[in-house]
Structure 1
């Protein structure tokens, strides 16, 4: 039996890792988050403040059974520079607590993203490759990887760095859930009787983009953590196809049985700020689960993604060459996620 410590267990990535590992017979799972969770067979949660080294040490220093650390935690801050200290500190605190006691530690998996390539700063080289040159700091993903590389020297455990594109999943209360942004935006637009307009920059409507299914990402993350070819390597992980919003957006509108209209650039963070009461009435009208409006969608993240008026994709062939061969159809992924949100009574 292997024991996975999933750091950031309630996020869209961590929750899908739990789902994936729960379907395998040879894993015990320990989930870490500030909110904790519901214990189940072979799964237990620990509520911990990873920014507090004493609390982290107190809660984790007895977890000697851990064999694999899957680090997916993330702390948002107002600026890129401000993100470095807390996000690096959480990883350092976890490793400092676990490494001395987990004598059978095999692997530490680090969840990154295309920020490593400067994708958040503006147009970057596409397709991005794991061998691409670095860019001017600050960037916490890079600092985290440097920490693991240095810490691993002379150790028996290995590390991997997993780099997905925008992740598609259904976890609520997550700051980076694009499918939920689109689903709530479409549901509110439909209730108001207006067409589903693409709200991003005009130049973003026809650029090439890709996403990463959360289930595929979980599969790839465990693959890299357990196969020798994943040791001390970074991998871009994506669905394997590309799309343009100008082709996919009308299909999304059709799924919600809506008309479209020409794109109109909006700040979702601004125009959706006053829609909490409307959403409450939608929940009542359609007998939805009473999730808090603020927990449903991160409009700032939607604005961020829809502002990419440049191509946004990476070369995923390194993982394929190393033995990970799963693909996902992105259109079907979005429709499946929308159906799941309906089944969970999150949206009408």
Structure 2
């Protein structure tokens, strides 16, 4: 916690100007919308142009130090930074170099602009606990020790804490899991993996089958609603109890896919059948023509198929055959008590996707029946 915060504990509660790095992603887009909804001045940075709900877009190449310094001069009044930018790389070393660079260039660009930065929110995923190589201790708690394996999240946190101590701002780190929500052209999105996969299966007259492994079908899993995470982000940047801390943020419940997929089938007007492992990254790109047919027939939002869904991302999550559970007790004790029923929220999000013409509408008929009851 910074000396500035200790001198004036009410200062972070004042509204200010928010900069959201990665505003084109599911997390960043919802965070920017939520801050704007609550009356903050908001600017969002993304690689592609994004139309925000009450916030302005900046085109800045955060991978370039000089471009960052030049582009962020316009954000000289920034008091809060929400950092959700991410660059994929093939090795852990390259991943760290790229993503630490994005964060460093953003912080340095704001510093060069003379921004009165008061708080930075940084996001981490399950890789912080070791979800990427396989099994990890559950329920995962924020106090769990780091892994010996190099991890770009650790490097980002070290940079952020060092910079915060030197420059006198506060920070909060949020750790969601399996974020579900919609953002245009953001393929790393579990919601869209399920929704598009199901829509294509329905169009082909096939029942809804879980395409992952049996182990993943039966394991405990959790998700984080993007709207809930956005509300946690505003809380983290405004409440003194969150300063300097790390919090797991999920919907607050756990489920097994075995319990949810029959409910998905009922909602989507489909028959349900036993799981059948299908490598989505191999099978689904070959069905691009089926999706394009649905887009044309139902006048759906014309998003390029390659930008619509990350099938490799879906394969990873739906083939993770181990319990993935994080404790959210620390966040509740600190004051963030928001929670959701994940099954109900998935169905609500499907309805929203249908209403916004992102996926085809559900047409229930006498041909749709619950022929399989697990």
* TM-score (norm: length of structure 2): 0.90
Corresponding residue for residue 24 of structure 1 = 38
Q: For residue 49 of structure 1, what is the aligned residue in structure 2?
A: 61
Alignment equivalent of 2:254, drawn from 235, 242, 264: 242
Tell me how far apart the structure 2 counterparts of residues 170 and 40 of structure 1 sit (CA, whole Å).
Answer: 14
Contact 1:37/1:46 (8 A) holds in 2:
no
The answer to whether the aligner puts 1:117 opposite 2:129 as a matched pair is yes
Equivalents in 2 of 1:80, 1:302: separation in Å?
A: 21
Q: Which runs of 4+ in 1 moved over 6 A?
A: none
Matches within 5 A, 1:112-151: 112-151=124-163
Q: CA deviation at 1:141?
A: 1.0
Among 273, 280, 283, the alignment partner of 2:285 is 273
Displacement of 1:40: 6.6
| Equivalent residue number for residue 352 of structure 2 | 340
Post-superposition CA distance 1:157-190 (Å, at most 9, x none)? 1111110011010113213210111000000000
Residue 23 of structure 2 corresponds to 9
**CA deviation after TM superposition for structure 1 residue 99, in Å:** 2.2
Matched position secondary structure for 1:205? helix
SS for the counterpart of 1:70 is: strand
Corresponding residue to 1:37 among 31, 50, 53? 50
- 2: distance between equivalents of 1:276 and 1:4? 38
Give 1:1-348 correspondences, 5 Å limit. Answer: 1-25=15-39, 27-38=40-51, 41=54, 43-348=55-360
Work out the CA distance in 2 between the residues paired with 1:30 and 1:59.
12
Distance 1:63 1:292 in 2: 31
Q: Tell me, yes or no, if the aligned pair for 2:72 and 2:113 is still in contact at 8 Å.
A: no
Alpha-carbon distance, 1:82 to partner: 2.7
Could you say what the CA RMSD is over the residues aligned between the two structures, in angstroms?
1.3
Kept after mapping to 1: 8 A contact 2:185/2:303:
no
TM superposition shift of 1:102: 3.6
CA deviation profile, 1:213-247 (whole Å, cap 9, x unmatched):
10110011111111111111110001011100001
| Alpha-carbon distance, 1:332 to partner | 1.3
Matched pairs, number = 346
SS in 1 for 2:75: coil
Contact 1:159 1:231 in 2 (8 A): yes
| Alignment match, 2:12 | none
